[in-house]
Structures are given as structure tokens and as C-alpha cells.
Structure 1
Amino acid sequence: MAWQDPRTSTDWGPFPERDEQMPDYDSAQWAIEQLSRKHDKPFFTVCGFIRPHVPWHVPRKWFDMHPTKDIVLPPYLKDDLDDIPEIGKRIADHPMMPTTEWAIKNGQFRNAVQGYLASVSFVDSCIGMVLNALESSAYADNTAVVLWGDHGYQVGEKDKFAKMALWERATRTPLIIKPPKSKQHQVSHKPVSLLDLYPTLIKMCGLPNNPENEGRDLTPLLKDPNAPWEHVAITTYGAKNHAVKTERYRYIQYEDGSEELYDHEIDRDEWSNVANDPAYDKIKNKLATYVPKENAPWSKMSYYNGNEYFLQKTVEAGAKGRM
């Protein structure tokens, strides 16, 4: 094992020998089987994959696709956390997870990143098998496809190999939507949330709206990735800890009033917290108006960190348009 701590399954390295020994391979085969069947009525199929969740264990051939000598390491700044409020450091402190400093000291940084990349390549192949089956099926031209992840991940950024935080790398997840019969390839950089998936699918399928839903229909962005979009994406992690994401800025407000603000136009890596810079006061005050006044009582997802439990309401998504 590369990392040994019984509180986490975090580890990396080639294992097992064959793709067929991986649960994700079985999931792909199940989805392929569903697409091979005759369906007389509209159907909804969900196929979930584990990777690239830890442990980053996949067959060696996927590691060989990413030689360590060729890997471009994620951006890392040793003193990155010096301008972070103490509560932000405490919430993101997960002693069961390896730090970047540990990985560098023990010569594991490149190996860990290789494990992550290998896991992504492996699951890409599983997704590819399902999409190939759809393409050759009777449902190729009348099926909407959505690919998304449930959270982001810091693979060395901010001295972390973890996901439990309110920074960009931990909360941004892939989101790819292909409407039926669509052949276009376009990308939208507008901030959206995974809460938006339900109303979007309802709209695409011609079903009635659900008035209790909190999400927003994304079909305008599928038609025009640069369409007017005055909304923000909000992520809640713990009691009264929120991040507000716009196309340019990320604003974080913690339960004790501490703040972080990042200008992604000049600081994509979130190395410089400008929350105390008077030049950004107007922007910061505007973003603060989006912060929820109270936690959503229906939040169910919890993560354990030290002696405290945190509730995560939703996860942001990088919206991508038609494929």
C-alpha cells in the first residue's frame, strides 16, 4: 500500500490484473444489456461507476498510459493556506488523508496523480463501451445522455488529496449533456448546480414541471452556451458554511463570518484570497447577498471530520453543452 490509514480507502497502484475483475466493468456490461433489449415504452437507465473514487486501483495497462515522467503535476503552492481563515483550515483538515507535502517528501506525488489519471482512463473506457452500445442500438437517435460526477477532488491542490472543502477543485464536477439527435459540440462556462439536472431532464422529456423542485432548467444553455444566465451555484458544507460561484468569482462565507474571495479571471488556482482587498468590496458584498439565510433542513449527505459532522447540500457543476 502507498498510503496506510484505516480511516480511508485512499491508495493507488496497479490492481487487479484484468478489467473484467473490476465492478465498473460489470456495471458497463449491465447497461449494455439494457440497451440490447426491446423496450416498448420510454425508459430511464442509470449506470453508476466507482472510479475515479479512491482507491485508485485499476489494471496496470491504464497506469502505463500515463508514465510518471510525463505527468504534469497539479498546481501546488506550499504557503497556499497562509491567507485562509482558521475555520477554513479546520474544516478542510482531514488527517486521515495524505497531504501534498507528505507525497513530495515520500516521492509519491507523481505516483498518486498517475493513479488518479489511470482510474479516469479506465472509467472512460467503461463509459465508452456503454456509448458504443447505445450508438449501435435502436435508441441511438431518441435518447438523451447525461454524464456527471458527484463531487470534485483535490489531487494535491491546497496541500490535499481530498474532497471535503468549499474550494473550486473540491466542488466542481464534470457535467455533459447530449440531447437526442444532437451532433453539436459546445461548452458553457455558466455556473450551474446538480440540482438543475431534474428540471432539465423533465423539460427535455416533455414532462410536467415539479413546482417543488429548486433547480433550474438548463436547456437554454444547451441551445446557446452563452445565453444570458444571471444565476449562481451555491455549495453548502456544514452549518452555515457556503460557497457562491459565478462565472468569474468564488466567494466563501463561514459560520463565524470569515470570508474568502477568489477572482478566477486572474487566479484560477485560488492562491490569493482577496476578501480583505478594498478593491473587491463591491463584488464581495453583492455575492454575500446570495448566501442562504439558513441551512436547508432536508440536507442528508454527511461526512465525518474529526469530532464534527458536516452536511453537504449540493455540488457545483461545470456546465457543458451538447456533444
Structure 2
Amino acid sequence: MAVGFLKPHVPWHVPQKWFDMYPLDSIVLPPYLSEDMDDIPRIAKDSIDHLPMMPTTEWALKTNNWKKIMQAYLACVSFVDSQIGVVLETLENGPHAEKTIVVLWSDHGYRIGEKGTFAKQCLWEEATRSPLIFSGPGIPKNKKIEAPTELLSIYPTMLDLCGLPENKENEGLNLAPIIKGNVASNNSYAITTYGWGNHSIRSGSYRYTQYEDGSEELYDEIEDPNEFDNLANKPERSNIKDSLRKLLPKVNTPWHKFSSYGKAPYFQAQKKRIRAEVEKVDE
């Protein structure tokens, strides 16, 4: 059974009591640098969907709305948390609790002013990191695993946990042995792709991103969790960058002709260009 919650997706409309949980004077905003985007590749800026309803951090600061936006987001998160509780309580009170595995996950993260903008459309940490929780019979409680993983691994993991045969066509990894503590993590990185040829590798303390034109970003997420300092051009980090570059996908899948993904002018032009290249090869 799948249970989907719209929140905390926009619009951030929930009953007032959830807003009251977060008084504006108690909200701590993330650090912000007005020059944060100065060392960012051109494609990284162009690939952000400029949706008219999503503000910039500069606007949120000037209009004194940033805390209000953060409050609305937190209210929606708490609202969903309560609704998840309703589902779990119903499960516990029913006949199937002892033979049910619950997986809590989200399809993406979200930026609430980080990197100067709001929303998800990018390859930075706040937008690509999402929750992934497994709970049920045979799964240790309150165990936290720091190793990076991908949503592709949910299905093969569930096959194992449910005692079903392995599907050889799966690209994801079976996380069940790691979850149960039988083996250490055997996956040292996770890949996120945003558009043709734009990939980000999360491994250890680093995030390395390469765009289709070869431009790069490299961040030490331990020393620089806000991703203020792009280390891609620092000679002393070249060995880190070179090792992560080897993990990039060897094949880029072309845009599907019916894809509506990406409203930014950059993506519209990219889809047209890639489609033309594919059609030329097919001739």
C-alpha cells in the first residue's frame, strides 16, 4: 500500500495551530551570502527553474518575509508528521502491524533560501538530500546509517526484506544486509542527475558536480555545509575531484520527446538540441 502526502510541497496552507508551533521570533534562518553565486558555473544558474511564484532570498530579506516562509514550511512538515502518526497508529491497532514493513521517503529535498533561491531545481545538497527510513519486523530500531544511498535502492531492499526473488535488472543496491547490521555499507556514493549531462556525486564528506559543458562544483559538506566555497578550482583538492569524476555515468539518456521536465530556458534549449542530435543519429 502506498500513502502519499502533498505537504510539505507548496502551497504551504495548513491549519493555524501548526503555524503557532513556530513563533517567528524563535526561527533561526540559515546563513546567507549575497555573493554566494559568484563562484558557481553558468549552467548551475541557468538550470534553476525561474518559477514566478518562487521568491529569491534577497527579496525575502528585503521584505522581511524569510522567517514567515520558513514558518510556513515548518508548519507543513509538522502537519505531515502528525498525519503519518495517524497512519502508523491505525496500523498498530490493526491485525497486520507485526508483518508490515514501513518505508518513509521523499522524492527530493528543498531549498528555503539556501544558495539565494527557493524550491528544488538544482544539484546542491539541500535539494538532493531526502529522508529514507525503514521500519518493521527484523529491522533494528533507532539505527542511523550515515552512508549515502539512492532511492533506486528502495525496491531491491524491499524484495529482500519481504523474502522475494532478486530482480537482476535493478540498478539500485539491496540495503537489507546493511540495515540489519550484517555487513558494513558497500555503497560509497550516490548520484543525482538534473537534465542531460548534469550529474552530482555525493561520497564521504564531498559533493562533486559536473555539468554538460565540463564546468564543475566541489564542496566539503563537513567543513562547508552551506556550500559557500566551490573548491573545484583548488589545486589541493584535485585528487578528490579526480576520484569522484570517475564515478560519473558513462552514458547520458536523451530527453524523451514528450518530456515536460524543466521550464527554464536552458532546459528548453537543451531538450531541443539533444533531440535534434538523436534524430540525426537515427537517420
What is the one-letter code of the residue matched to 1:193?
A: E
Q: What is the CA deviation profile of residues 152-188 of structure 1, one whole-angstrom value per residue up to 9, with x for unaligned ones?
A: 1000101111100000011111111113254521111
What is the one-letter code of the residue matched to 1:305?
A: A
Whether the aligned pair in 2 keeps the contact of 1:142 and 1:181 (CA below 8 Å) is no
4+ residue segments displaced more than 4 Å: 297-301
Which residue in the other structure is 2:99 paired with? 142
Structure 1, gaps ≥5 residues long: 1-44, 312-323
269 and 141 in structure 1: CA distance in 2 versus 1, 3 angstrom threshold: same
Q: Distance in 1 between matches of 2:49 and 2:36?
A: 14
**Alpha-carbon distance, 1:135 to partner:** 1.2
**How many percent identity over aligned positions?**
51
Which residue in the other structure is 1:303 paired with? 262
Q: Helix, strand or coil: the match of 2:146?
A: strand
59-68 or 287-296: which moved more?
287-296
Whether the aligned pair in 2 keeps the contact of 1:188 and 1:225 (CA below 8 Å) is no
Structure 2, gaps ≥5 residues long: 272-283
75 and 190 in structure 1: CA distance in 2 versus 1, 3 angstrom threshold: same
What is the one-letter code of the residue matched to 1:92?
A: I
RMSD over aligned CA atoms reads 1.9
Q: Helix, strand or coil: the match of 2:262?
A: strand
TM-score if structure 1 supplies the norm length? 0.78
- Structure with the bigger percentage of strand: 1
Q: Helix, strand or coil: the match of 1:190?
A: coil
TM-score if structure 2 supplies the norm length? 0.89
Q: How does 1:1-323 map to 2 (within 5 A)?
A: 45-92=1-48, 94-96=50-52, 97-180=54-137, 182=139, 184-224=141-181, 227-296=184-253, 302-306=261-265, 308-309=267-268
Whether the aligned pair in 2 keeps the contact of 1:94 and 1:306 (CA below 8 Å) is no
121 and 158 in structure 1: CA distance in 2 versus 1, 3 angstrom threshold: same
Q: Distance in 1 between matches of 2:7 and 2:27?
A: 19
Aligned residues: 267
**Alpha-carbon distance, 1:225 to partner:** 9.5
- Structure with the bigger percentage of helix: 2
**Alpha-carbon distance, 1:95 to partner:** 4.8
**Alpha-carbon distance, 1:305 to partner:** 1.6
177 and 209 in structure 1: CA distance in 2 versus 1, 3 angstrom threshold: same
